[in-house]
Amino acid sequence: MDKIVVLDFGSQYSHLICRRIRDFSVYAELVPFDISVDELTKHNPKGIIFSGGPSSVYNSDAPIPSAEIFKMNLPILGICYGHQLIVNNYGGKVKRANKEYGSSLLSIDNNEDLLSGIGESVRAWMSHGDEAEEIPSGFEIIGHTESAKAAAIASKDRGVYGIQFHPEVVHTELGTEILKNFALKICNAKQDWNMETFIEKTVEKLSKIEGNILCGVSGGIDSTVAALLIHKAVGDRLKCVFVDNGLLRLNEESEVEDMFKNNFKVNFTPIYAAERFLEKLQGVTDPEKKRKIVGEEFISVFTEFAEKNGPFKWLAQGTLYPDVIESGVSKGPASVIKSHHNVGGLPDWLKLEVLEPLRNLYKDEVRKAAKILDVPNNLIIRHPFPGPGLAVRIIGEVTPKKLEIAKVSSKIVEDELIGADLYDKVWQAYAAVGDDKAVGVVGDERKYGNIVMVRIVDSIDAMTADWTRLPHGLLEKISNRITNEIEDVTWVTYAISSKPPATIEPQ
């Protein structure tokens, strides 16, 4: 399978480069910027992309790739900071400039190769404080903006290109076409990345592993697809365990049991462990600690089951690419956003080897795989749910009262979206609750009650998201139902922060 490798220099958009390239059926993978040439060669890439990043190439601590990478005779595309790396490496000059953040008009000076089919000009997204003052010998300017005279450069003989703007973000018009020109026309990569091929190769690879496999299933699309792929490969050597941790959606435990027993021919065992999870969370308010506690307790439950019902060699999970990136274990310079219970939350004493067949997939790719595996559509369109469950939708300590509020209010949000035919048109919807309270009036009496925050977002892959503009009438209906049907709630708020700067989940 042909591959484009993206070197991660810490940009918030690094993952989006991979995501956009995969959209046109070419596989792309994010690797750390300091990867050795030997390791990079093992990837057998058709081309290399340098991501953006917050550093300046002239700083002493700037992240710099191995100089040998430039000698691999592979096409290279540098984006923003990556563009400046190329200028600096080949003898040009990068200088501090006025910060340019936002949309700029990119004028095309040469519409061959990289900018083929783009037209005379497009809107391009800029996010930089440095720029190329002098381009290196052997390069030409192929695009400019009013404030960046070398917004796009090329050395066609070397197959090296640099662009100051970000084609991976939706704010850049025809940005995907620019990436497609690089991958298909310059790198000559084949469009052979699809879910049919992924399933075939993954099943073949999984069938070669030895030992029994224990798979934790939550009833969500990720762990379900992981379990079905493994079962397709190893059959009865797979045992699926569903843990009711007391942090699930309203009535979810019975729904998950019914789904597995009625739809899938896998060995399925439910474990009821709500009491032990909630006991561990008592008095804990720090969100990272809550995630770690939930992750470690899951592993404790799985380990106990394995010791009684084993032997097992593997623990399988539905870990996705965004989980890996956000947990800071992708080995790039980006900071940890949050620890996902199935990645950053795994304890050091884990006795089972971890198996993650979906580790390199985004959510929408998993949904495509689910359709091929005949997963029921109601599960495919079901909204994502965090691994630590309501522990991350309850701000502060997890208490029985706040649990009940979060469960019932979230069910109201989902029901109203379904009634408005909007549920499958948004990415995620829920209600969260914390310790803040506000005064309300109930039955002509003053009442001091909880504040519920409703959060509904649109997204493609959960790496970025925008808040959903719901009709005001629907928001009013959701608010009225929550305050009328849940005794301890007096106020309902609607979260209008996008990701970034916010995250989708509050904790």
- Positions annotated as catalytic residues are 80, 166, 168
Q: Which residues contact 344 (CB under 8 A, 6 or more apart)?
A: 291, 292, 295, 327, 328, 329, 336, 338
Start-to-end CA distance of the chain, whole Å, equals 38
CA distance 420 to 388: 29
Q: In which residue are the tokens 């049991």 written?
A: 257
User: Parallel, antiparallel, or unpaired for β 160-163 and 213-217?
Assistant: unpaired
- The amino acid that residue 375 corresponds to is V
Q: 3-class SS at 432?
A: strand
CA distance 346 to 314: 14
362, 22 contact by CB (below 8 A): yes
CA distance 242 to 264: 14
Q: 3-class SS at 181?
A: helix
What DSSP state is assigned to residue 182?
I
CA distance 330 to 18: 14
Long-range contacts of 468-474 (CB under 8 A, 24+ apart): 468/426, 468/429, 470/422, 470/494, 471/420, 474/416, 474/417, 474/420, 474/422
Strand locations in 226-343 (E): 238-244, 267-272, 314-316
386, 505 contact by CB (below 8 A): yes
CA distance 243 to 381: 22
The CA dihedral of 111, 114, 117, 118, to the nearest 10 degrees, is -80
Q: In which residue are the tokens 């089972």 written?
A: 352
What interhelical angle do 363-372 and 221-234 show, nearest 10?
50
For residue 23, give both structure tokens.
């959209």
467, 495 contact by CB (below 8 A): yes
CA distance 215 to 230: 9
CA distance 271 to 212: 19
